[in-house]
Each structure stands twice: as C-alpha cells, then as structure tokens.
Amino acid sequence: MVNVLFHILIFPGFLFAGGFGLVAEYVDRKLCAKLQNRIGPPWYQPLADLIKLVSKQDMVPEQSDATVFTLMPIIAFTATLTAFFCIPLWQMRALSSFSGDLIVVLYLLTIPTLTFFLGGWYSRSVFSMVGAARSIIQLFAYEIPLFLSILAPAMLAGTLSLSEMTVFYSKHPWLTMLNLIDFAIALVALLGKLEKTPFDIPEAETEIVAGSFTEYSGRLLAFFRIAIDMEMVAGASLLAAVFMPFGLSLGPVFGFILYLVKVLFVVALLSLARTIFARLRIDQMINLCWKYIAPVAFLQLIIDLIVKGIVAQ
Amino acid sequence: MSEEDNIKQQLIEKFGFLSDKITIQRSRRIFADIPLANFSEIFDYTVRQLNFSILAAITGLDEGATLGFIYHLARENGIVLNLHTNAPKDKPVIKSVTEYFPAADAYERELVDLLGAQVPDLPKSDRYPLPDDWPANQFPLRKDWNVEMLDKKEVNKNEKI
Amino acid sequence: MRRYDFKVPIGPQHPALKEPECFSLMLNGEKIEGMSVRLGYNHRGIEKACEAQTYIQDLYLIERVCGICSHSHATCFAQAVEEIAALEVPKRALYIRTLVAELERIHSHLLWLGVAGHEIGFDTLLMYTWRDREIVMDILAMLTGNRVNYSVNTIGGVRRDVSAEQIPQILKAVDSLEERTKYYIQVATEETTIIKRLSGVGIVSYDDAIRLGTVGPTARASGVERDIRRDDPYAAYGELTFNVITDKHCDVYGRTLVRVGELMESYKMIRQILANLPDGPIAVKAPRKIPAGQALSRYEAPRGEDVHYVKANGTDKPERVKVRAPTLANVQAVAHMLKDRYLADMPIVIAAIDPCFSCTDRLTSVRTPDNKTGNIMTWPALHSYSIDWYRRCGIDFSELNKKFRVPGN
Amino acid sequence: MIRPGKMIIQVLQSLFKKPATSLYPFVKTEMPDKYRGKLKYYPERCIGCMLCMKDCPSDAIVIKKIGEKKFQAEINLARCIYCAQCVDSCPKDALEATKEFELAKFDREKLKVIFSEETNSGSETKT
C-alpha cells in the first residue's frame, strides 16, 4: 500500500513527473530565449506561474457545460500521469510492464488532446470552439505518423511491450541506427501533439487567442498547464526509450542522470524547432503529414520489415 | 504654358462661370471654388476627362452659414486640384462620390458624423467614426459645438459620480 | 451574405491587433465567408482640439496622432502651415527633416517585419528584427533626444541640429543595418514556412488596388507606382535619387518585399543626405499669427500617403485641420483581401497593410483648457465610486474595508 | 535556395552571444544627451514673460509671481508631455530638460512639483 502511494505521489508519480515537467518547461523557455538572443525567465518561473494560477479564482463560463469543463483538465492530468507508469525511465523495465503496453502508452498520450477538444468545445466560446475543432483535425494528421514511427521499431523488435523493446535494442544496439528516420518523424509528430510551433495551430495566439484554453483560468488552467508539461516529458521519455535505448544498465545514479540528459535533449530539439519555423496553416499541416510524413513512415516500416527478415535468417 | 495653367484653361473652357474661381497657389496646387448645383458635372469632368484619378481626402468645413466641402483630387504626377463647394447648413445635402471612388465611403461617413452633412446615396453601414450611442444632432466639428453640450445632456444623465 | 457557422469577433481586444478596432468575421469552418469592419474606437478629437490651440501647440498634438509615424504627421502639418505663412525654410532644416523621416521609415519597416513574423507565429524573426531596430532607435534618440516622439520639427525649421561627430555614427549604424536587412531579405525569400504563409495570401490585383484607393507599400506591392516622395516632392526629396520599389506579387509576400526593398533605398538616401548636408541655420522665426489662407500638404509616411489640410484665419489658432492618415485609405481593402481566405490568414493580412488605427481614428477625448468638465477621476473618487457601485448591487465592503485600509497614496 | 530552417545558423550562434535584452529595473540605461525628461527651473533667471505658459500644449507649467522680480514655477508632471517647447520658448534659459524619466508615483498630487528660490536654485519642494 505504501509502495503504491509512493509510486503515485512521488516517483514516478505526481512529484517527479510534475517537477520534471516544470524543469522541462524551464529548459524549453530558457533555451528558446537564448536562441532568440534574450535573457529569458529565471529558474523558478514555471513554478511561480503555476502557484499564481492555483491561487486564482476558477471561472466557469455561464454557457459552458460545467461538468465537462471542470472534469477535462483533471482527466488530462491523470492520463499523462498514468502513462509514466508504463514507460521505462532509466531501467530496462517499466514500473508496470505487460505485453501491449506500447499501445496503452500511445492511447494514454492521445487522451489529453481529446480533453483539449472536449474542454474547448464545451466552453461555448467561438475561439475555444475553433481551437477545439483544430486540435481534433490536427490529431488525425499527426497520430498516424506517430503510431507508425513507434510501431516500426516495435515490429523490428518483435514485441509490443516497451520494456521488451528496450531489452531487444540493448542486445542489438546497431539496429537503433536504422530507426533514425522514424526518430525525426516522431519528433515532428510530438511537436504536433504538444501543440508547439510550427504546429501550435490549435492555440495560435494571434488567430484564436488561446484556442481551447481561452475560457480556462485558475486551477483548471493550472491542471492543463502541468498536464502539457508532463505530456512533454512523457513524450520525450517515450522517444528516449524507443530510439535511445542505451546505457540502461548503468545503475540508478548514472542511469537516472543519463535519462534526464536524454529527455532534455529531446526537449531541446523541440525548442529548436520552435525557434526556426513559422506557424503553418491547418491545411498545410495536414498536407505535410499525409503527403510527406506518413509515406516516409511507411517506407521506414518496409525497411524494418526487410531488415527483420534478414536478421531472422 | 505649365500643366497647372493648362488644367485651369481646360476647366474654364468647359465651364465659363469658373473663370475667376480658380487659383494656382503654387506648383502642383490648384484651388477651385465651384457651385453645388454644377458639382456633379464638374466632378465627373475632372475625374473622367482631366484624369484626376486619386481622391486624397474630403475635408469638411464649418463656414458659419454654410458647410464647406473640399475634394482633394490628385493626378499621378502630383498635381492636386482642390474642389471647394458649399451647402447651406439647414439643408447640407451632397452627392456621394463613391461611384467614382469606393474608398470615399469613409471620408463621407466622417462628414456625416462629425459635421452633420447629409449624403442620401451613401449605402447603409455601421457608423464611423463616432460611437454607436452618440447622441443625434451633435456634430463635434461644428464651430458652435463644445464638450459641455455633450456632458450636460447625455453622459452625466444616468448617475452622479 | 452566404451561410456561416460562426461569427468571430476579432477585436476590439484581440492578440492579433495592437490597437482597438473590430473586425467581425463570418466563418464557415475555417473559411471566411464575410466580414464587417467597425472603426472609430480610437477617436480622440484631435482635429477639434487643434482648433482650440495655437499652431505651436498643435504641432505637438499632431505629433501624437500616431506613435510610429509621429515625424510624418508633424512634418506634414508644419509644411502646410509654412506654406500658408510663406516661410522660406532653410535648406539644412529640410535635409534634417528628410534624414529623420528616412530613419523613421527604417524603424517603422523593421517594426513591421517583426510584427509580421509574430502574426505568423515566427517569434524569432520578431525578436531579431526588434533587436536590430534598436540600432536605429538609438540613432534617433541621439539625434532628437527621444525614441518615439522626436519633436524635431518646429514651424519654420527643425529644433535639433546634426553635429559633425554624429555623422560617422549614423553612417556606421546604417552600414550594420544594411547588412542585417540583406540577411532578412534572404530569410524572407528563402525560408519555406515564411513563403508558405505569405505568398498567395491577401491578394489585391492592380485594378483593385487603384479602385480601392490603396496607398503606400500596399499599393506598390500590387504594381501601382505611386510615391509622394517622387510624384509630389517635399523637403529634400527633390534633390535625392532613389527608386520607387514596386512588386508584381500583389500579395502579402509582395508587400514584404516592397518594405525590405524600401529599407535598402532608405539607407541609400541617408548616405546621400549626410554627404550633401548643406550648412546654414536650421530654422527661421515663425510668426505667432499665421495669415489667412489654406494649404494641402502630402507626405509619404512609412505606411503610405499622409494628407493634411490646414485652413488659417489670421489668428494664432487654425480654423480647420484635417488629417487623412494612410491606414484609412488601406483598411477598406482588408475586407477584399480576406474574401474566401482562411481564418489563419486574418492576422497577417490585417498586419500587412501595417495598420495604425490611432492614426486612422483621430477624434473623443474630452479636454477643456481649464479641465473643469474633464472626466478624470481621482483615486479616492474612483474608490468611493466603486464602493458605491457594489453597495447598489447589494454587496457591502465596509466591514472588510475597516480591516484592510486602502493605503493613502 | 528555398529551404526550411533558414535561420538555424544564426539561431544557434545566438546561444553564444550576449543577450540583447537587459534586466531593466536592476540595470539602468543611460539616456541620450538631448533627452527631454523632467523639467528643471532656475528661478533667478526667470523674468516672468510667461512665454512657456503660453506655448505649453498641455497647460503643465504655471509661473507665479511671488515677490518683486521673484517667481516660482509649478510643473504638473502628469500633464507634461515632455516636448520641451517651453525650454525652446524661454528667452533666458530659465528652464532645462533633464535626463530624469522614472517619474511614476502612486498619487497624482505628488506629481505637482514646485520650484522656487527659497528651496535653493533649481531644486524642488513637493507639495
């Protein structure tokens, strides 16, 4: 019982995931500022923002569906937290590992987007509704490439369990080199999932104010914010587990540091992408995903199939 | 003969009654005073025949008994013809020039809102530039208007501060 | 009007707009089916206020019509008054006016480039251009004292001279700005995501540009070769050689190219001005009472043609001052540009005319010389008013008030 | 060549550059020499011609006669638009624009500054 509480509240639960989420947000913001030749925020800024939001009044719009409106941030938060239990962080095995947990992680990471949609839609504000519609359209665009890019390495490893995948790639480290294209695709899809420039279309500030989050304030917004931060870390951890499965037997201290470095490396790549591109339009984003990225992901799948055949012999 | 003189000559040839109404203030600036009755034909002639293809602005003036309107027409090469006309204050009706310049819409709405001119053939639309709850028959650019008229009648009516 | 699903109010408060105006978009999904524009939120009564003040006072009021093109409006007004008073402005003054005008154009266009970057979600471009804009802002501050409201004009000349030591500093700044501008031209013409967002958006054909009466870079990007600096030369422009930049793209991309092209021309012009800066006085004494007369003054502001009409009646106060700012001519083309486009194009299309709504609406500040009827409330009055308002709503704060005294200041 | 990520080189170079922004309230910036900030008044030079009052676009300055050839100036910093026209209008250089610009106060009344001879030349008393 104590063990379960420890896992939920401290590691890899609320405290670790939330804290690391804030650290990742700080790294993202500070790096972005540095890349843009600014000073950037001090280290406590994400935490200060969160405390400010928590201390503010919750406002529920009169016309909104109050139940859905208040429930959605909590669901988003819970879903991302749950995903942490299934991703191997610094060991070979995740906390809860079973055959097919890869699919579970991918679906758990889809839930926040659905909550953005529902929360925005039931806010009943024009900006929220446009933002909600955009986030669901965007979901259809990036989800297929993301699934394909994660499934190809899984197929090569011949398993749908993340933990077994890392075991496989630890044995065949050279095979990870094969998945570099998939890593790039997964990064692009992750940008779409986290709604960051160039794919921050659902919350494009200059067009629709804040998209789904326009009507959110106070604690509810704080839940969404921390959920997005945690989603960033969870997504980066997933990428680290699938595409960088090395150094997993270094022991708790070095292994943990290596894990942090891997995740922050992915976060740094995301913030670099944020600074060098302009925001695309939603039609351009769909074109990009379906015309270029999805076919390349299929190509990688075929390559992996062929390689698997060779390895099996 | 300079181009400005040429334009003056052409205008006088076509409309004889303008002979002493046109002055050339400096190079590229011609001022003409035209009667309201002949406004349409003179305007049509200057735009269509004399190639004054740019409407720079329309200025409204309060001239005491009359309201004055100056149409600042410009040619591509920088010559500006200022057509001044006026209408009596009790019936300040002018013709819209949006037929020639669709952009004149905003300038004419300014005349309507700020000076109380009447432009019957202006298409219906939101008012510009005054707020929607601006009291009727208050024309801020008229000389007899001042802020007190607005304060006493409209703004302070609901509650005392 | 066609069928629409949403009506999205863009403004009076919206992140895409830096000033309050209202654009109502009728949306069918993401597509814009129709739109209506409501202007006038910034009406401050400047034209009326000008009639109650002397010419010298008006100069500073007119300067505050707009923050970014403050020099444009002040120069345009001063030119009109000087024409009525038949003042011979010294040549050096005209050159300094032109110098500040071109520096202002550089700062305005760099500002625009940054805003355009921000509107398409490219914040790095915003940060970089605004960083480089500081170079020209520093030069303006050095020349005139302040960064935005330069107040360099006076009736009959200018107030601040350019010293010999300042000239090499300006040239150095222009060199570094030119290098940066070349880089931005490269970025704008070679970065895929920028081109994707800008080209084919907000199209106004050559004929439409003329019909809708667009001015400035908006018109020039549609191939309309109009530039007051060349067509109706004022200040020292008659003695400078420069090209009028036009473009055939007719879209936002073309407007970007025109503006960066104009930046390069401005650098050229500043070098010419500084090389040929005449000696002599910088102002002539202007009479307080301006003789009766009227004048129309035109000026190519960074955003397009600025028109001022001044009528004098022989006193020290003008009879009528009329200001036609460039945005008023351009804003009516926005509805045309947005027809059948997407919601996502709205910010950049509105930004592409470089709107300055404080210029466009000029008139409802309640200002009286003795400040008797002004609606300014002091802090205690506002405080007691708010308590009163809540009490009428049935909420009494007096108990709380005893606990938390509002500080005296 | 048209390609995505055109700015990447300069963006990465920025990592090793000094930031262009500054921590303003902690790091002060120097104003240029010609800056038009808060006004300064020299009562001993004033001849009471009131030209500054006449030309002020916002009625921010009031010159009062307080004795034989003695004047005091009341400057309302809230009304002042810092155009420094009064400095130009003054025939005796009794007014000067300083570089001081951080003038915000919580109380409107504190923005009224009175300069007079009793309080030393050019200094101020706050009402």
Q: What is the pLDDT of residues C190-218, one digit of tens each?
A: 888 888 888 888 888 888 888 888 888 88
Chain C residues within 8 A of A36 when measuring between CB atoms: 123-124, 127-128
Q: Averaged over C82-110, what is the pLDDT?
A: 90
| C298 contacts B74? CB cut-off 8 A | yes
* D11:A272 CB<8 A: yes
pLDDT at A298 over 90: no
* Reported confidence tier of residue C382, pLDDT bands at 50, 70, 90: low
Partners of B109 on chain C (C-beta within 8 Å) are none
* C342 in A contact zone (CB under 8 Å): yes
The 3-state secondary structure of A233-274 reads HHHHHHHHHHHCCCCCCCCHHHHHHHHHHHHHHHHHHHHHHH
A94 pLDDT band, cuts 50/70/90, is: low
* pLDDT score recorded for residue B122: 80
Q: Do D17 and A38 touch (CB under 8 A)?
A: no
Asked whether A91 and A28 are in contact (CB, 8 A), the reply is no
Answer yes or no: do A280 and C7 touch at CB < 8 A. no
Dihedral of CA atoms A231, A237, A240, A241 in degrees, nearest 10, equals -120
How confident is the model over B107-126, as a mean pLDDT?
Answer: 82
| pLDDT at position A27 | 92
Query: For D23, which residue in chain A has the nearest alpha carbon?
Result: A39
> C342 to chain A: nearest residue by CA?
A281
For residue D24, which residues of chain C lie inside 8 Å, CB to CB? none
Closest residue in D to C62 (Cα) is: D57
Say what the pLDDT of residue B159 is: 46
How far is the alpha carbon of B15 from chain C, nearest alpha carbon, in Å?
24
C395 confidence band (pLDDT: 50, 70, 90): low
Q: Is the pLDDT of residue B150 over 70?
A: no
Question: Would residue D8 count as lying in a domain?
Answer: no
Nearest to A18 by CA among A81, A111, A75: A81
Q: Please count the helices (runs of H) and the strands (runs of E) in chain D.
A: 3, 6
pLDDT of residue B98: 84
Of D81, D82, D85, the CB nearest to C56: D85
Mean pLDDT of A237-257: 78
**What average pLDDT does range C319-336 have in this prediction?**
84
Q: Which domains does chain B have, with CATH numbers?
A: 3-157 (3.30.460.80)
Chains D and B touch (3+ CB pairs under 8 A): no
C142/D32 touch (CB, cutoff 8 Å), yes or no:
yes
pLDDT at residue C101 tops 60: yes
Band the pLDDT of A48: cuts 50, 70, 90: very high
Nearest chain D residue to A38, by CA: D19
Question: Treating both helix axes as pointing N-terminal to C-terminal, what angle do A126-157 and A101-121 enclose, rounded to 10 degrees?
Answer: 170
What is the rounded average pLDDT of the residues C374-383? 56
Q: State the average pLDDT for chain C.
A: 82
- Give me the domain span that covers residue A99: 2-312
Neighbouring chains of C at 3+ CB pairs under 8 Å are A, B, D
Q: Is residue D90 part of a domain?
A: yes
**What pLDDT is attached to residue C174?**
92
Query: Is residue D15 a part of any domain in this protein?
Result: no
For chains C and A, having 3+ Cβ pairs within 8 Å is answered yes
pLDDT for the residue C319: 87
D78 CB within 8 Å of a chain C CB: no
Question: pLDDT tier at C374 (50, 70, 90 boundaries)?
Answer: very low
Range A271-280 average pLDDT: 88
Residue-level pLDDT at C66: 81
Residue A172 has pLDDT above 50, yes or no: yes
D118: in domain: yes
Which residue, D27, D106, D24, D37, is CA-closest to D75? Answer: D37
Q: Choose from C60, C77, C371 for mutation: most chain D CBs within 10 A.
A: C60
Return the pLDDT at C402.
Answer: 56
* Cβ pairs B/C, distance under 8 A: 104
Domain count, chain D: 1
Q: Which residue of C has its CA nearest to A279?
A: C121
The Cα-based distances of C92 to A11, A49, B17, D22 in angstroms read 74, 54, 44, 37
Q: What residues of C are in contact with residue D84 (Cβ under 8 Å)?
A: 145, 151
Instruction: Give the integer Cα–Cα distance in Å for C346 and C32.
Output: 9
Q: How many domains does chain A have?
A: 1
Residue A26 pLDDT greater than 90, yes or no: yes
> Which residues in chain C have Cβ-Cβ distances shorter than 8 Å to A278?
117, 120-122, 125, 191, 193-194, 196-197
Q: Residue C129's pLDDT is what? A: 92
Q: Bridge-partner residues for C1, per DSSP?
A: none
Chain D residues with CB under 8 Å of A35 CB are 11-12, 14-15
Residues C257-268: tens digit of each pLDDT: 999 999 999 999
Chains that touch A (3 or more CB pairs under 8 A): C, D
Kindly determine whether residue B103 and residue C213, on different chains, have CB atoms separated by under 8 Å.
yes
Tell me the shortest Cα–Cα distance from A290 to chain D, in angstroms.
Answer: 18
Q: Using the beta-carbon criterion (under 8 Å), do C39 and B105 form an inter-chain contact?
A: no
Q: What angle do CA C131, C136, C138 make, to 5 degrees?
A: 90
What does the pLDDT read at residue C360?
A: 63
Stated as kind and residue range, the H or E segment containing C194 is: helix C192-198
- Cα separation of C254 and C216, whole Å? 13
pLDDT value at residue C203: 86
Which residues in chain C touch residue D88, judged by CB atoms under 8 angstroms apart? 154, 159
Instruction: Say if the Cβ atoms of B140 and C40 lie within 8 Å.
Output: no
ipTM above 0.90, yes or no: no
* C14: closest chain A residue by CA: A209
Residue B33 parent element (H or E):
strand B29-33
Closest chain D residue to C152 measured between Cα atoms?
Answer: D83
Residue B60, phi then psi, degrees to nearest 5 = -105, 140
Mutate to test the interface with D, among A31, A35, A269 (most CBs of D within 10 A): A35
Query: Taking CB atoms and an 8 Å limit, are B106 and C332 in contact across chains?
Result: yes
Residue C26: beta bridge partners?
C7, C34
Q: Band of the pLDDT at C175, cuts 50, 70, 90?
A: very high
- Cβ–Cβ contacts within 10 Å for residue C283, how many? 20
Contacts of A216 (CB under 8 A, 6+ apart): A73, A119, A123, A224
C106 band by pLDDT with thresholds 50, 70 and 90: very high
Q: Is D3 on the interface with C (CB under 8 A)?
A: yes
For A23, A280, C295, the CA distances from A266, given in Å and listed in that order, are 13, 22, 65
The DSSP-derived string for D14-73 is HTTSPPS---TTTS--PPPTT---SEEE-GGG-----HHHHH-TT--EEEEEEETTEEEE
Contact C344 A282 (CB under 8 A): yes
Identify whether A42 is preceded by a cis peptide bond (ω within 30 of 0): no
Q: How far apart are alpha carbons B51 and C216 in whole angstroms?
A: 20
Q: Closest residue of C to A278, CA-based?
A: C122
**Which tens digits make up the pLDDT trace of A60-79?**
888 888 888 888 888 988 88
> How high is the pLDDT of residue C401?
55
Q: Is residue D16 part of a domain?
A: no
The reply to whether residue C14 touches residue A281, judged by beta carbons under 8 angstroms, is: no
Interfacial D residues in 13-42 facing C (CB < 8 Å): 20, 31-36
Mean pLDDT of B14-29: 84
Structural domains in chain C, CATH included, are 88-285 (1.10.645.10), 379-409 (no CATH)
Return the amino acid letter for C274: L
Given a cut of 80, whether residue A297 has pLDDT beyond it is yes
Is A8 a residue whose pLDDT tops 60? yes
Proportion of chain D in helix, strand, coil states, percent, rounded to 5: 20, 20, 55
pTM of the predicted model over 0.80? yes
Domain membership of residue D30 as a residue range: 21-126
Residues 202-221 of A with CB under 8 A from D: none
SS (H, E, C) chain A: CHHHHHHHHCCCCHHHHHHHHHHHHHHHHHHHHHHCCCCCCCCCHHHHHHHHHHCCCCCCCCCCCHHHHHHHHHHHHHHHHHHHHHCCCCCCCCCCCCCCHHHHHHHHHHHHHHHHHHHHHCCCCHHHHHHHHHHHHHHHHHHHHHHHHHHHHHHHHCCCCHHHHHHHHHHCHHHHHHHHHHHHHHHHHHHHHCCCCCCCHHHCHHHHCCHHHHHCCHHHHHHHHHHHHHHHHHHHHHHHHHHCCCCCCCCHHHHHHHHHHHHHHHHHHHHHHHHHCCCCCHHHHHHHHHHHHHHHHHHHHHHHHHHHHHHHC
Answer whether residue C161 shows pLDDT above 70: yes
Q: Which residues of D touch C407 (CB under 8 A)?
A: 106
Chain position carrying tokens 């339009």 = A281
Do residues C300 and C229 lie in contact, with contact meaning Cβ atoms separated by under 8 Å?
Answer: yes
Two tokens at A122?
Answer: 């039931």
Closest residue in C to A204 (Cα–Cα): C121
Asked whether the bond before A12 is cis by omega within 30 degrees of 0, the reply is: yes
Residues 6+ apart with CB under 8 A from B139: B113, B114, B115, B116, B145
| Residue D123 pLDDT exceeds 50 | no
Three-class secondary structure of residue D97 per DSSP: strand
Burial profile A39-65: b = 16 or more Cβ within 10 angstroms, e = fewer: ebbeeeebeebbeebeeeeeebbeebb
Task: Decide if D9 touches C, using CB distance below 8 A.
Answer: no
Asked if the model's pLDDT at residue A98 lies above 80, the reply is: no
Residue among D4, D17, D23 minimizing CB distance to A277: D4
Q: Is the CB of A278 inside 8 Å of chain D's CB atoms?
A: no
Average pLDDT over residues D49-67: 86
Q: d(Cα D2, Cα A283) in Å, to the nearest integer?
A: 21
- Give the range among B134-138, C172-176, C273-277, C382-386 with minimum mean pLDDT: C382-386
How confident is residue D47, by pLDDT bands cut at 50, 70 and 90? Answer: confident
Write out the H or E segment, with its range, that includes residue C71: helix C70-85
Mutation target among D2, D9, D14, D18 for the A interface, most CBs of A within 10 A? D14
Query: Could you tell me what percent of chain A has a pLDDT over 70?
Result: 96
Q: Report, in angstroms and rounded to the nearest whole number, the Rg of chain A calculated over CA atoms.
A: 19
Which CATH number does the domain housing residue D110 bear? 3.30.70.3270
What's the pLDDT band for B139 if we cut at 50, 70, 90?
Answer: confident
Determine, for residues A130 and C27 on separate chains, whether the beta-carbon distance falls below 8 Å.
yes
Q: Do D107 and C379 touch (CB under 8 A)?
A: yes
Asked whether residue D124 carries a pLDDT value surpassing 60, the answer given is no
Q: Do C307 and B57 touch (CB under 8 A)?
A: yes
D115-120 mean pLDDT: 65
Q: Which amino acid is at D39?
A: L
In C, minimum Cα distance to B149 occurs at C373
Share of chain D above pLDDT 70, in %: 91
Whole-number Å distance between alpha carbons of C290 and C317:
8
Cβ-based contacts under 8 A for chains A and D: 35
From residue A30, give the alpha-carbon distance in Å to each of A26, A34, A276, C119: 6, 6, 15, 22
